[in-house]
Amino acid sequence: MLCVLSMLVGVNALAQQEFVSRYDVFQAFSVLSTSNLNLFQRGYNEEFGVNLRRWVAVGGDFSILSGHSSLGPNLLATAQQAKLAPFLPLLPPGASISVPYESSTYTFCAGPQFNFRKFSKVTLFARPALGGMHQVVTAKPNSGIATVVVGSLLGPSGQKSDTVLFYGFGGGFDINASRHIGIRLAADLVHASLFSGLLKAGQNNLRLSAGPTFRFGRNVK
């Protein structure tokens, strides 16, 4: 990504963008990585923006992603770890409790985006990230002990959901194929504290998105 950007910037260093459409729609394949949970999710990201000036836009962002991982005692809050103490003597020597689970995550946010349009073929942008994250996890216990543990932590359904605010920042660039079509590569790094009573720490999440952007409307002077 950096090599392609460097070549485009070098070729077009003296050519600025003459036409900037009023509206912008971005649809992308997206991945979300939560490193401390070893959770990697794939899904869809959509954005809609309005260019108020050539250098600033406002808009909204929505994504839906899903994936799977497993949860061990080291990731739980202290009070939740204490609930596992009665089950530890029942494990074979050297074994540990690890419960697989599936996750579905929804993100939504709105705010400004700051654009740098000094190159005709590339638009750089940066933005704050402030919004909401909703996540649903469903445990998939693979043993009798794991089933009992899930019941004590999540209840009989084995499912738990949470909605929290997140904050962070993002940025990326558009490769401008024409006035009305481009290819966008974007990255957003945000912090959230999902399931604060269950997990011992908040999560740093990295979302990467790539896809086409479609522009329409009159030229922004």
pLDDT digits (tens, 9 = 90+) for 107-127: 999 999 999 999 999 999 999
Determine which of 19-28, 30-39, 136-145, 174-183 has the lowest per-residue pLDDT on average.
Answer: 136-145
State what percent of residues in the chain have pLDDT above 70: 92
pLDDT at 152 over 90: no
Domain extent listing, the chain: 2-6+23-219
pLDDT digits (tens, 9 = 90+) for 53-108: 999 999 999 999 999 999 988 899 988 888 887 777 777 776 777 889 999 999 99
Say how far apart CA 115 and CA 10 lie, in whole Å.
18
* Stated pTM of the model: 0.87
Nearest to 144 by CA among 101, 90, 93, 102: 90
Q: Are 62 and 25 in contact (CB under 8 A)?
A: no
CATH numeric code, 2-6+23-219: 2.40.160.20
